[in-house]
Amino acid sequence: MMSDDAVVLVFITGIAHLLSAFRLACYQRDEVRHRWRDGLLTSLCGGLFCVAGMDVLIASVPVSPWHSVVSVLLCVLIVRNEGNIIVLWRALK
C-alpha cells in the first residue's frame, strides 16, 4: 500500500503528463510553411506523454519526487508555449 504522499505524487505526475499531451494534441500551427518533421515530433511527444500519463495513473506505479518535478516543469513549458515544442527544441540546439 502506498502512502498518501506517494499517491499525491502519482496523481500530480499523471495529470501533468495528460495535460501536456492534451495541449500538444490541440496545437495548431499558424506557419506559412508546413514542416512535416515538426508535426511528427509534436505528435510523437504528445503520444508519449499520453501513454506515460495513463501508465502512471492506471498502474499506480510509484514515482520519485524528481519525476514529478520534471513532469510539472515540462507541462508548464508546453502550456506556456501554447503547445509549440519546436521552440523548446530549437532553444536546446
Q: What is the pLDDT of residue 33?
A: 67
Share of the chain above pLDDT 70, in %: 94
Q: Which of 17, 5, 7, 11 is nearest to 71 (CA)?
A: 17
d(CA 13, CA 66): 10
Q: What is the pLDDT of residue 4?
A: 87
pLDDT digits (tens, 9 = 90+) for 34-43: 678 888 888 8
- Place 16 in a pLDDT band, splitting at 50, 70 and 90: very high
Residue 85: pLDDT above 80? yes
Q: Which of 47, 45, 64, 57 is nearest to 14 (CA)?
A: 57
Q: Which residues, at least 6 apart from 56, have a Cβ–Cβ distance to it below 8 Å?
A: 10, 13, 14, 17, 63
Q: Which of 72, 71, 77 is nearest to 91 (CA)?
A: 77
Residue 21: pLDDT above 70? yes
